[in-house]
Amino acid sequence: MDAAEVTRYRNAQPFRPFRLRTDDGATHVVHHPRLVLVTSYDVIVGTPDPVLPPPAAATGTLLALECITAIEYLDEPAHA
């Protein structure tokens, strides 16, 4: 996956939540455009804070772009 593709999903208007799938089978959901930070090599996905309103994050997960195998909108069927 490249940074431009993740950025395209993040910047979609209107924003649609999306899922990143990694090569180890894990999935990471982006619920708000300000809960994802894209760099040249990595993506940081924030987990929404259960108390504070978006885009507050409770935690974040660092993903290497080279480990992301798929990206899909949540309203689309998940790939097997």
Instruction: Give the mean pLDDT per block of 10 residues along the chain (80 residues).
Output: 97 96 97 95 95 92 98 74
Q: Return the pLDDT at 80.
A: 45
Q: In degrees, to the nearest 5, what angle opens at C-alpha 40 toward C-alphas 38 and 42?
A: 55
Its CATH architecture, for the domain 3-73, is Roll (2.30)
Domain ranges in the chain are 3-73
Predicted TM-score (pTM) of the model is 0.87
Cα–Cα separations (whole angstroms), residue 13 to 21, 30, 58, 62: 22, 15, 25, 25
Q: Return the pLDDT at 79.
A: 53
